[in-house]
């Protein structure tokens, strides 16, 4: 999903998110909250599933209901940079959603990582894909040399298993290498709880 974020002071910026249930979109924590005790929640997010340039085949859903975790909203700790957007209607029942899992370090090191998102250096509303091996797997973070740009924060990092896509992380920072929040057991439980909202 392409995300158009309106901040508390009416600034707009772009992000990416992905469905994990009928109403739940997962994204980076900094997409929904600035991080840290002085940070503020965003005002609203326009969620545009499967956007293709100027085409919005499933319309736009506007949400004002967001979640993250204390490690991000109180401390701004990058290990906790993930969050959720709860949609006003269950569009996931029509479109489907990603699986997600808490995989071992060994499985992740031997996986191919995939990501897709909406970088702002490409034509507006176009989704771009990249795949490759991980650079490093840490207890709460994934590193990879997949090509990303601003606007892709919140993109899903997934692996294929039995022909299905399973999220293993959330893209949060570009760099050399890029960084993602790893889906640990705790992250898994939080996503599962948000999915049920």
Annotated active-site positions, please? 30, 153
DSSP state of 79: G
DSSP state of 32: H
- Buried b / exposed e over 122-139, threshold 16 CB at 10 Å, is eeebebbebeeebeebee
Cα(164)–Cα(153) distance, integer angstroms = 23
Length, in residues, of the chain: 197
Cα(155)–Cα(148) distance, integer angstroms = 10
């Amino acid at each position: 999903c392409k995300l158009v974020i309106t901040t508390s002071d009416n600034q707009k910026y772009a992000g990416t998110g992905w469905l994990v249930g009928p109403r739940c979109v997962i994204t980076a924590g900094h997409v929904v909250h600035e991080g840290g005790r002085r940070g503020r929640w965003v005002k609203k997010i326009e969620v545009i599933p499967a956007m293709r340039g100027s085409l919005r085949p499933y319309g736009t859903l506007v949400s004002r209901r967001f979640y993250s975790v204390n490690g991000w909203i109180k401390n701004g700790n990058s290990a906790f940079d993930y969050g959720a957007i709860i949609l006003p209607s269950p569009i996931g029942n029509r479109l489907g959603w990603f699986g997600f899992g808490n995989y071992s370090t060994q499985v992740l090191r031997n996986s191919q990582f995939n990501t897709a998102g909406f970088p702002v250096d490409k034509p507006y509303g176009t989704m771009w894909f990249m795949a490759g091996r991980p650079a490093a797997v840490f207890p709460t973070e994934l590193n990879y040399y997949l090509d990303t740009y601003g606007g892709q924060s919140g993109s899903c990092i997934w692996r294929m298993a039995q022909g299905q896509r399973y999220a293993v992380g959330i893209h949060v920072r570009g760099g050399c290498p890029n960084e993602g929040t790893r889906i640990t057991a705790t992250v898994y439980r939080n996503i599962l709880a948000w999915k049920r909202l």
